Structure 1
Amino acid sequence: MKIPSNIITLIVGVVITLISLWYGQNHGLMPVAASYDATQVDGIFNFMMSIAIGLFLLVEGTLVFCLIKFRRRPNDQTDGPPIEGNVPLEIFWTAIPTVIVFILAIYSFKVYSNMGGLDPVISVNTPPQQIAMDGNQKQVALGIGTSANESGEIAPLMVKVQGMQYAWVFTYPETGIISGELHVPKNRPVQLTIAAADVLHAFWVPQLRLKQDAIPGRNAILAFTANREGDYPIVCAELCGAYHGGMKSVLHVEDEETYAQWEETNKPIQEASLDETLAVNPENLSEGQFLRPYTHKMGIHKEILAQVPHP
């Protein structure tokens, strides 16, 4: 009994679809998702993976089928049929990628918008040192995430992130804490203001599915809400020098109690400032005391230096 070709085509299509959908949801290629935004990124990645597997099986399966069915038989010296083209098939294969691209564009646009990538509220002032420009000109800020004013009822945790060769330094303006590792409470919005002190860097946490360039002289905003406790690597994803591979830190996602204990333990102790002295003979100052005002203007002080790894 010969099975009709349309039945075979239907069965093959169903099998390819089932395999694609299963693998798209069970590929295991992504690290654990540690934020609410990560699940949205995983959704579009899984969708693209399902499409890619389906197309791969279809194309490679067709090639294997043709190699077997239309192989040259022994003693067969005849020519194949003179087929020069198939307009309906070419239109069909052109329409498929077009539809896929449009679907992916709409899907990715929706995910990017949900993550706050199109938030018009986040804006920055153009640096006033630019000549022949309005110093108060507004620009849309770099980065992803809703602004602090639009993030909801829970006040976001504000953290300043500075990338430098070859370390990350995290400053908490509300408490004055300066740390070489990033500590955040679970289920609380976090807004990072990212900049670089020297060259281009890139702040990347794979488990958050977020990456943002750190640009010298310009701030970038990155907002997220971590929903899974744990310790996750922070990696520089931009080649920044000879020791780029060693520019790493750790993101600690903790419960409220653990975070409060860390915050209380690491609050800085108030020290007397050198500025309180009215007049000092420079010859009586140590090298560190003499250079302190200059390093402060550069944004470098001992708390930051203490967080930089030393060989």
Structure 2
Amino acid sequence: MKRVVALVVSLMAAGAQAASPSSGGEAEGARLFKARCEKCHLARPPGGDDLLSLEEVEGPDLSFAGSRLRPEWVESWLTAPARIRPAGWLPYRYVVPTEAGDRVDVARLPAHPPLSPEEARKASAYLATLKREPNPHPLVEPNPSIRAQVHFSKLLPCGGCHQAAPGQGGMSGPELHTSGARLDAEWMGAFLSEPGYWQQGLMPRTDARADQLAAIVQFLLRPREEAATPARATVEVLPLVAIAPVPKPKGRAEHLYRLLCSQCHGVLGNGRGINARSLFVAPRNHRSSQEMSGLTRDSVITAIRSGGSAVGKSTLMPPWGSVLGRADIELLAEHVLTLSGESASPGDRRP
């Protein structure tokens, strides 16, 4: 059998869409979106190329919602919103550093307002028009010998940020245990191949092979009982006592660290971020001289650009080279090397 086939065909049985919701209402939905949704969401791609512009918005980009989301799911979800992102949009906003590590302050997580059934129908009809042509990407059959769950949780960075089952996995990204009901199969394959084509910043491109990505898509689209209902993301509710105030960023490097690194390495840089408990390899404590003493400036740059495996460390450390340019990677590396309280020379940066 030929290896190169249409991914959407090979996955259709697992991810077939249900009948589309009531047609019509796009114009009314556009007006509703402008009045009720634009405060938090964009219906157009964000302007500019600066990653930090993400901090200026209050919710995810919906400019390609029609390519990504199943309209019938959108219509149902809008009438009874349930949290998709366990730690909210830009999790650092809601994190408290505690003795037990970083925790999400559930009381601070904003709730999505519900719409009436008629409003939801109109909004869904409008969002379904917001489409983008898929990026060119390899289309292959999922390899049945690939253990997709193992790849998702241990061999690739996916499980560090996302949950493929309730309460199992990271908290900083959208949960994926209801992705079969929520997400379009063709879009998933295209997105995993080149996340940067679709959105700015938060999802890096991995070095996974096309057949590995196809297997992961099939794994996420598999029928599950809970997929028929809206997501109920798992967030632990505990009294939170901060061990220290979270420092406000003073420059670009601190903003980048907070946006990208703190989810695993902690808002204090102590290796105890909200995702740390789900990782089978503990994130490095950037404030520890002992843990940082063996690192050079070049090795930190390589790890940031190409991921942990590039320096003989955990594959759960994602490669940020598809997200950050060279100048930002070097700037971030300099910042990481100062967190332990020591500095280093430009040629051989050792804390």
Please tell me the TM-score bracket, short chain as reference: under 0.3
Q: Counting strand residues as a fraction of each chain, which structure ranks higher?
A: 1
Which of the two has higher C-alpha Rg? 1
Q: Which has the higher contact order (CA 8 A, sep 6+)?
A: 2
TM-score if structure 1 supplies the norm length? 0.24
Q: TM-score normalised to the size of structure 2?
A: 0.22
